Amino acid sequence: MTTASTPADVARAEKARATDGAPRTGSSLGYLRHAAGKVGGALVSLLAVLVTSFFLFRIIPGDPVKAMTHGVPTSAEQLATLRRQFGLDLPLWQQFTDYCAKALSGDLGTSFQFRAPVGDLIAEKLPATLLLTGVAVVIYSALGLWLGTRSAWRHGRLGDKLNTGIALTLWSVPSFWLGLILIIVFSVGMGPIPGLFPTGGMESGTGETGFAYALDVAHHLVLPVVTLVAVGYAQTLLVMRSSLLDEMGGDYLTTARAKGLRDDVVRRRHAVPNALLPTVTMIFINLGHVAAGSILVETVFSWPGLGGLFYQALSVPDLPLVQGLFVVFAGAMILMNLIADLLYPLLDPRVGR
């Protein structure tokens, strides 16, 4: 038995057939507007970084020329020649315009103390920093996600209390202090514990090649990576735990359990994906730190990366070098935040509408 169709029903059916399979241009345009806004905001932030990097380090006390010639007999004429050579005799506004013009063209200037292009110095030290902080970020992000998920799913139990307590304790520990303790215990040796790891550096310098060289670098990598992981994983754990706790009362989880799904399946397929959005931000911020490295940890362990280079540049102060490193550090963070913002609508369609 069939029912008679009214003209309104026929019109609705024709409209449905006409739009079936058509591209959702509104959604695409919404994402493009979202992306354009985020890219524009990132460019504005990068310009603000350029301005900030110039004026911020000009307030550091000390004369770069006098610092470079410390202990060396230098006449006033020679000091004036060095200031003219480095452009420090120009008015501040002219130094700023020259700096911006060069930076926008990719020229970060020439280091005062190393007498080499800043870009070349950064490129030389970047691989060591990417190795150290990249390994640490991968480990503590995965560890934080795993422990944060387990803590939230077993909220209030002994494991949750232990995980959050240990994480908060390590998070409050200064990284340089923890690094020094690890050096004393595991490099120098303490009591029955022998010195197992090098006190610093990236390699022994004994001329190993191939697999032996890789093992030597890994041996030097252990203590600085442990320091970064111990201090850094807590943030990811706490964000993931908080996000998952917010999702655990959702009706969709009750529905999933009512369908007979196992608890592990409910957590893995339903709860965790919906709790990942804030954690994605944290992971991409951590990825931004990969280029920045860790100044204190690299300094403590004499790691030949960008962090140690930044510390050396600040001690002069080497203005072109600290400015260039600051731009690279901030630029990496801006880029990672931009990628996270562009991924949000793909992970959650509600974002960017």
In this predicted structure, what is the pLDDT of residue 225? 92
In this predicted structure, what is the pLDDT of residue 69? 67
Cα separation, 2 vs 253, whole angstroms? 40
In this predicted structure, what is the pLDDT of residue 14? 45
In this predicted structure, what is the pLDDT of residue 227? 92
In this predicted structure, what is the pLDDT of residue 292? 66
Contact 276, 340 (CB under 8 A): no
Q: What is the domain count for the chain?
A: 1
In this predicted structure, what is the pLDDT of residue 210? 81
In this predicted structure, what is the pLDDT of residue 352? 53
Q: Does a structural domain hold residue 290? A: yes
Contact 79, 69 (CB under 8 A): yes
Q: Does a structural domain hold residue 288? A: yes
| Tokens matching residue 271 | 């709860």
In this predicted structure, what is the pLDDT of residue 323? 85
Q: What is the CATH number of the domain that holds 297?
A: 1.10.3720.10
Tens digits of residue pLDDT in 243-274: 888 877 777 777 777 777 777 777 777 777 77
The whole domain housing 192 covers 119-330
In this predicted structure, what is the pLDDT of residue 308? 83
Taking CA atoms, 227 is separated from 180, 218, 221, in Å, by 10, 15, 10
Nearest in space to 163 (alpha carbons), one of 135, 143, 178, 136? 143
Q: Does a structural domain hold residue 216? A: yes
Q: Does a structural domain hold residue 348? A: no
In this predicted structure, what is the pLDDT of residue 16? 44
Contact 253, 247 (CB under 8 A): yes
In this predicted structure, what is the pLDDT of residue 5? 45
Low-confidence ranges of the chain (pLDDT < 50): 1-25
Q: Does a structural domain hold residue 340? A: no
Question: Model pTM greater than 0.85?
Answer: no
Buried b (16+ CB within 10 A) or exposed e, 317-330: bbbbbbbbbbbbbb
Angle, to 10 degrees, between the axis of helix 118-153 and the axis of helix 210-247? 50
Prior bond of 194 cis (ω within 30°)? no
Q: Does a structural domain hold residue 36? A: no
Burial class (CB within 10 angstroms; exposed 0-12, middle 13-18, buried 19+) of 298: buried
**Phi and psi for 192 in degrees, rounded to 5?**
-75, -10
Q: Does a structural domain hold residue 259? A: yes
In this predicted structure, what is the pLDDT of residue 89? 72
Q: Does a structural domain hold residue 61? A: no
